[in-house]
Structure 1
Amino acid sequence: MAFSDRELLARILECEAGGEGDTGMKAVACVVMNRVQVDYGEYGNLYTVNEVIYQPRQFTCVMEMVGGQYNMQNVYNMRPTEVQYDIADWAMAGNRLTNLGFALWYYNPFKPTCRDNFPSAVGELVIRIGDHCFYNPTAAYADT
């Protein structure tokens, strides 16, 4: 199934951060758009929302199977509302959350604390928003 960048971003927002409120969804949208815009490192050759989201092993919501089980919560099953489309439009227009820096990663640690670095030493904790920890690239990211 082929989705436009807007549709795919709205679906990933619902799937990855639908329960995190507007700020949580905006933060996830910023990470996706930061990966589109970064011109070096692992994401430096990805130029569209589709390329970023469909990059292998990046977003659980793109995987149809997780741990040998069908993943019911995937982008293909999502039905975004106007909220997700509005946030997708907001991010694609170049808007960003100022307290997020240039975060390229996030994850839910399923505990009250965030790791200082993620994934490994290429990302450094910048902020926690809701259940997700967000990470800015370190100088080591350029070598990925």
Structure 2
Amino acid sequence: MAVIQTNSSDVDLLARLMRAEAEGEGDLGMLMVGNVGVNRILANCLDFKNIRTMRDMVFQSPGGYESVQKSYFYQRARDKERRLARRVINGERQHPASNALWFFRPEGACPPEWFNQTNSGRYKAHCFFIPTPQDCPRVF
């Protein structure tokens, strides 16, 4: 059962985002990017107040995704990424992105905090960061 409302265009948009942000990190890395995206739609807190749709989340500015500024993002969604997108839309969560609202790719080690958000872990090149349950209860 879906945790957010979507249509086929939303699935394609999330699939394209997941591929553009983390294709080099395999299926699991793409699922984690999808977790962060879905969490941002659910959150309605901090930097993500009034982000209610897939389009709001993907194209949020400022604070959105760098990949939407690159041509690779605008290629058609593929079936593989659509299947992965549906999994996160249906509530599948992958640690350390389960409750994360942010991720980035540092040059070295993950910092313990990033803009006052706690590091929840690293997967390959990406570090994931979570809010507190008090600040964003809807992502927990």
**Alignment match, 2:120:** 126
Give the Å deviation of 1:28. 0.3
Q: How does 1:78-89 map to 2 (within 5 A)?
A: 78-89=75-86
Q: 1:27 deviation in Å?
A: 0.4
Assess if the C-alpha contact under 8 Å between 2:13 and 2:77 holds in 1: no
- Which of 32, 37, 49 is equivalent to 2:42? 37
- Which structure 2 residue ranges, 5 or more long, are not aligned? 1-7
Matched, 1:107 2:112: no
Bigger relative contact order, structure 1 or 2 (CA pairs below 8 A, ≥6 apart): 2
Deviation at 1:117, TM superposition (A): 1.3
Q: Does 1:15 align with 2:11?
A: no
Q: Report deviation, 1:40.
A: 2.3
Which of 77, 90, 112 is matched with 1:116 structurally?
Answer: 112
Higher share in helix:
2
Could you tell me which runs of 5 or more consecutive residues in structure 1 were left unpaired when the two chains were aligned: 64-70
- Residue 83 of structure 1 and its aligned partner are, at CA, apart by 1.7
Alignment counterpart, residue 59 of structure 1, candidates 62, 65, 71: 65
* Alignment TM-score, normalising by the size of structure 1: 0.79
Among all aligned residue pairs of Structure 1 and Structure 2, give the percentage whose two residues are the same amino acid: 30
Task: Compare CA radii of gyration and give the structure with the larger one.
Answer: 1
Q: How many residues align?
A: 128
* CA displacement 1:107-132 (0-9 Å, x = unmatched): 01133x111112x11x1100101110
Provide the aligned C-alpha RMSD in A: 2.0
* In structure 1, distance between residues paired with 2:16 and 2:96: 24
Shift of 1:11: 0.5
